[in-house]
Amino acid sequence: MSARVLNGTLVAEVIRQGVAARVGELAARGIRPGLAVVLVGENPASRVYVGSKVRTCEALGLYSEKIELPVETTTEQLLGLVVELNERDDIDGILIQLPLPPQIETRRILEAIDPAKDVDGFHAVNVGRLVRGEEGLVPCTPAGVIEMLDHYGIDIAGANAVVIGRSDIVGKPMALLLLHRHATVTICHSRTRDLAAEVSRADIVIAAIGRAAMVTGEFIREGAVVVDVGMNRATTAEEVRRIFGDAEQAARLEEVARRGYTLVGDVEPRTVGEKAAWLSPVPGGVGPLTIAMLMKNTLRAAEARR
Ligand code: GUN
């Protein structure tokens, strides 16, 4: 069997169209949702993400403001900016791009954001609401995974769902969202005694560990749904040949030669694709959904606030 593709690029486009339509309705009432994106320092990956977030806002008719601060910015300075953004009526969403430089106390910054403008869903108030199953702003990546499963009509209620990874950004909120949709949820992590045994019982597998191609076909039950949240880089021809099947190798090797790397998920597509019923690719799976959901969260924040 060869897995069917969970096409995140397509689902993200559907989400963006829905957001653009509602932004148009708000515009008729004189309201334009606004997102502030804050980048501290020079992390090249962060710079790419921030650019992409701002461009997507522009494409959908949202107002956006990119604020760039030097790498030596202090916690107090960044807190000052957050307070300013909290008070501005034209800003509905505040996104502080992570990771922040080491001298900045990340938790204090995230807790200073007005929960009503916390479009990342990282504030303790929004985390608390998520735990309780109350309305609130939910982290973009796990919320996007749920949208993708729904788009393809995959049943969550009653399913055995295994989330691999326990991060605050993906693993924990992912597990809670699946639980609220009535899945039986297991969270696995680096200290899980028998990962293969846990994953082999799963109807739905969410891989969010951050290790290239760690989940192989041997872990996967025949017919499972596998969502790959990983974003890793493969840099050697040897790695590429191990991870990708014949059909994909040539293009991937060419990419490594050209750019020095190719993007690899936490799932080994060659072997998992033979067992799973559905698999999200990397790139083109969960990645595009994250920014689409950020737009949706900004819209929701605007609708709730104004
Ligand atoms: N860095 C990597 N992922 C994220 C995210 O979802 N939100 C923010 N703010 N920073 C990130």
Predicted local confidence at residue 105, as pLDDT = 98
Annotated catalytic residue within 92, 114, 120, 203? 120
Instruction: Grade residue 22 by pLDDT with cuts at 50, 70 and 90.
Output: very high
Predicted local confidence at residue 231, as pLDDT = 96
Known active-site residue 275:
no
Query: Domain 32-114 belongs to what topology?
Result: Rossmann fold (3.40.50)
Task: Give the DSSP per-residue string, 53-102.
Answer: HHHHHHHHT-EEEEEEE-TT--HHHHHHHHHHHHH-TT--EEEEPSSPPT
Domain ranges in the chain?
32-114, 140-230+265-287
Instruction: Grade residue 1 by pLDDT with cuts at 50, 70 and 90.
Output: low
Residue range 140-230+265-287 forms a domain whose CATH class is: alpha beta
> Does any ligand 1 atom lie closer than 6 A to the CB of residue 289?
no
> Is there a common fold for 32-114 and 140-230+265-287?
yes
Q: Can you give the length of the chain in residues? A: 306
Instruction: Grade residue 113 by pLDDT with cuts at 50, 70 and 90.
Output: very high
Q: How far, in Å, CA of 290 to CA of 142, rounded?
A: 8
| pLDDT tens digits, 186-225 | 999 999 999 999 999 999 999 999 999 999 999 999 999 9
Share of the chain above pLDDT 90, in %: 98
Known active-site residue 97:
yes
Known active-site residue 203:
no
Mean pLDDT of all residues in the chain? 97
Which pTM value belongs to this model? 0.97
> Does any ligand 1 atom lie closer than 6 A to the CB of residue 6?
no
Index of the ligand 1 atom closest to the CA of residue 98: 10
Predicted local confidence at residue 11, as pLDDT = 98
User: Dihedrals φ, ψ of 116, to 5°?
Assistant: -70, -15
CA–centroid distance, 265 to ligand 1, in Å, is 17
Cα torsion angle, 263, 268, 271, 274, sign: negative
Q: In what order do the strands lie in the sheet with 63-69?
A: 63-69, 34-40, 93-96
| pLDDT at position 122 over 70 | yes
Predicted local confidence at residue 31, as pLDDT = 97
